[in-house]
A and B are shown apart, each in its own frame.
Chain A
């Protein structure tokens, strides 16, 4: 596999490229709306859904609070059950451990259960450097791998591909990776699935080493859990002689009964099923049954960093259901690649900066801004991660990480706005300036909005980002606060009578009629420094200065 997220551009740039791909947008809109509807219907069947969300959040929080103890307990139980436990601080350490196990058994290929943790550490690429081929066995992951592509979704990594594209990939690529696809393959889904099945069966039967992640790790019993839909995971977990599981340290649950909540919320949130078809659990080695050598790699890779973040640590509750992706209007239009990571969508927008650290690079720093803060993700999340609040907190961390350097246009605008918004008098001066500018613009403007108000069309410079596709009303001659003063709160004159935009029931006077009341004279209470009022002026007129 050659594709990599390394060197991905910042989100707005990557998003622009994705938006231009109309096929991609169609595929995404279709897939996300289908799964959204499915999730909604199975979630609405569960009366105590909100209680389950609260319980899930509480269990995860409790597990994270005493994470060290649970991890030690997990290690103790796994070891007692005959497994070998390794600790990995980062991706390099984790990959080296897995590569060593493969080398010890002198294999040049391994089969894999779909796993976010191994994708995160780019295990396949590192193993390839050691001459070991890692074969993905999840159907969607296989499509991504054969296509030299990058995953675009947590649950359905090939969500951005349609049937015709998949057929093409199978026909051209399968032969090079193992059993070839039938020459008369059509894009009929059962036929595509059958081709994948034939291709994978050969690999399952041959492989000596299997690699997995885990959805949950129960400390008290030393049990790892994988939930899946296709059964390929069970093949990888039971057929090979050796099994290596790479598990993020946040996957720990204290007790076996804690599983109960998540086995209800995870399938409903992710695939829109009441129950997932396969749930596999294993607790070390069972003589004569399944892998006889079991390794567990406990992976940090930024998780303790995230845990130390007071607001952001709730992201570690994530059970990777992908519900937040499927409801996110930004994700729906850009797809996953724009997020530059195996964790895309709303959870990716917070998890990547939390794992890597805000301020660690422009791409990472662009992610907390890849959201309108609409809140749909929080509403959908089965463990109640307040993603919008974490996004805002991370934005503050990004800004703080860049304080002290050369001020950006944005920080100048924000400081200007803060200064203007620091007093009503300063704001009055600013809105007056904005109104005067509006008067000037109105003289030249030829556009008007439905209802008669004059509008700005395309603007040059900083206003272009707004005005490329959107008209903007010109600022009115008179701000609300000026009107309130002039008319004593609308009591000394009929409301709206002087409104040059034509308020309710009033005729529309000549645009640009000079206002003659005393209110337009210089205001003694305005700030004497004469500093320009950047805030509302920029926001009002160009909308592009921020």
Chain B
């Protein structure tokens, strides 16, 4: 099986460790993953902001980069959702039937990481070890657009030493929403602050999710609030093994209480 990693533009530029973790994890599971260097972005930033014409060359680049692979795996539910649900819309807009055909061939082969692990590889225990107290936020596009269901938590429960604590109101959006985080910054921060409060209530050391962008938003709030809670991509946790586990700082005393500035526009 020829497998390609779609790292996503956000992970590429901002969170390379998430991509490296996927490589480590898949190799450990016997998958020889390739990284087509022609890849760029799923075009979601353009599509979701309404710039469909601008999305056409990006989708073209995407199908060029990933044609010929049996499976494409990505550490982002949002980007996988964008490929599977939006590329056909962009292709239709382009008026190029050849592009539409190629999108039809490529898009269904794109899997979010947990779908790939559970459905394609058929594993739930990936041999990871991560002895920490963890809470998991199911990001909206994984949850509702892709319907990954309990695959991520099944994978997390099989990790040695990991204590999974339930996140209150887990299914509520964190407020990131791509350009929403900037265009409607006040509402975005209000939503994210509630999410961060729920995370602190769990007393977890680490907040885990399958989308780096959502983690960047909630993590940015948790950091500003000096909560001591670290955010990590699910792939990094699943890639961790005994002895090589990422160091996690202890949660400082009192972090689970509401720090100053937890509300809108949290002051630090």
Residues of A that sit less than 8 Å from B by CB? 11-12, 15-16, 19-20, 329-330, 333-334, 368-376, 378-379, 389, 392-400, 410-411, 414-415, 417-418, 420-424, 426-428, 430-431, 434, 447, 449-452, 455, 457, 465-466, 468-473, 475-476, 478-481, 483-485, 489-490, 495-496, 499, 501, 503-505, 535-536, 539-540, 543-544, 546
Of B98-106, B157-165, B186-194, the one contacting chain A is: B186-194
Chain B 165-182 interface residues, beta-carbon cutoff 8 Å to A: 171-173, 175-182
Residues of B near A466 (CB, < 8 A) are 181-182, 185, 220
> Which residues of the other chain, A, contact B216 by a CB distance below 8 angstroms?
472-473
Q: How far is the CB of B185 from chain A (nearest CB, A)?
A: 4
Residues from chain A with Cβ under 8 Å of B89 in the complex: 392-393
Q: In the assembled complex, which residues on chain A have CB atoms less than 8 Å from the CB atom of B9?
A: 421, 427, 535-536, 539
Q: Name the distance in Å between B255's Cβ and chain A's nearest Cβ.
A: 10
Chain A positions within 8 Å of B224 at CB level: 457, 469-471
Residues on A with beta carbons closer than 8 Å to the beta carbon of B234: none
Q: Which one of A19, A434, A490 lies within 8 Å of B186 (CB-CB)?
A: A19
Given A333-B190, A468-B185, A501-B17, is A411 in contact with B35 using a C-beta cutoff of 8 Å? no
- Complex contact A376–B144 (CB within 8 A): yes
Q: Is the CB of A374 within 8 A of B54?
A: no
Check if B177 sits within 8 Å of A374, measured CB to CB.
Answer: yes
A483 touches B20 (CB 8 A): yes
CA distance A483 to B229 in the complex (A): 28
Asked if B240 is an interface residue, CB under 8 A from chain A, the answer is yes
A175 to B149, CA, bound (A): 56
Partner of A372, one of B24, B173, B246: B173
For B73, list chain A residues within 8 Å (CB).
Answer: none
Q: Which residues of A contact B145 (CB under 8 A)?
A: 375
- Given that A398-B50, A495-B24 are known contacts, is A450 also in contact with B187, CB under 8 Å in the complex? no
Q: Report B-chain residues with C-beta under 8 Å of the C-beta of A457.
A: 224, 268
Minimal beta-carbon separation of B108 from chain A (angstroms) = 18
Q: Which segment, of B37-45, B109-117, B118-126, faces chain A?
A: B37-45
Residues of chain B contacted by A536 (CB below 8 angstroms): 9, 12-13
> Is the beta-carbon distance between A470 and B221 smaller than 8 angstroms?
yes
- B interface, CB within 8 angstroms of A: 7, 9-17, 19-21, 23-24, 34-41, 43, 45-52, 54-55, 57-58, 61, 65, 85-86, 89, 140-141, 143-145, 171-173, 175-193, 216-217, 219-224, 227-232, 236, 239-240, 243-249, 261, 264-266, 268
In the assembly, what is the distance between CA of A450 and CA of B228, in Å?
6
For A504, list chain B residues within 8 Å (CB).
17, 21, 236, 239-240, 244-246
Asked, given contacts A450-B229, A480-B19, whether A333 binds B46 with beta carbons under 8 Å apart, the answer is no
Q: Is the CB of B220 within 8 A of A472?
A: yes
Q: Report the nearest B residue to A33, measured CB to CB.
A: B169
Known contacts A372-B176, A478-B16; A395 and B48 CB within 8 A of each other: yes
Compute how far the CA of A113 lies from the CA of B198 in the bound complex, rounded to whole angstroms: 42
Residues A423 and B51 in contact, CB atoms below 8 Å apart: no
Bound form: Cα–Cα A469–B187 in Å = 12
Structural contact, B193 and A469, CB atoms closer than 8 A: yes
Closest 7 CB pairs of A and B: A372-B177, A395-B50, A470-B220, A374-B173, A375-B144, A418-B54, A399-B50
Return the contact of B180 from the options A372, A424, A430, A505 (Cβ within 8 A): A372
Bound complex: CA A539 to CA B13 (Å)? 9
A374–B140 touching, CB < 8 Å: yes
Q: Are A470 and B57 in contact (CB under 8 A)?
A: no
Is A372 in contact with B35, judged by CB distance below 8 angstroms?
Answer: no
Residues of A within 8 A of B190 (CB): 19, 333
Residues from chain B with a CB closer than 8 A to the CB of A378 are 144
- The answer for the CA separation of A539 and B171 in the assembled complex, in Å, is 26
Judge whether A418 and B19 touch: CB under 8 Å. no
Enumerate chain B residues within 8 angstroms of A372, measured Cβ to Cβ.
Answer: 140, 173, 175-178, 180, 188, 191
Asked whether B144 lies within 8 Å of A369 as measured between CB atoms, the reply is no
Find chain B residues with CB under 8 A from A496 CB: 17, 20
Chain B residues with CB under 8 A of A20: 264
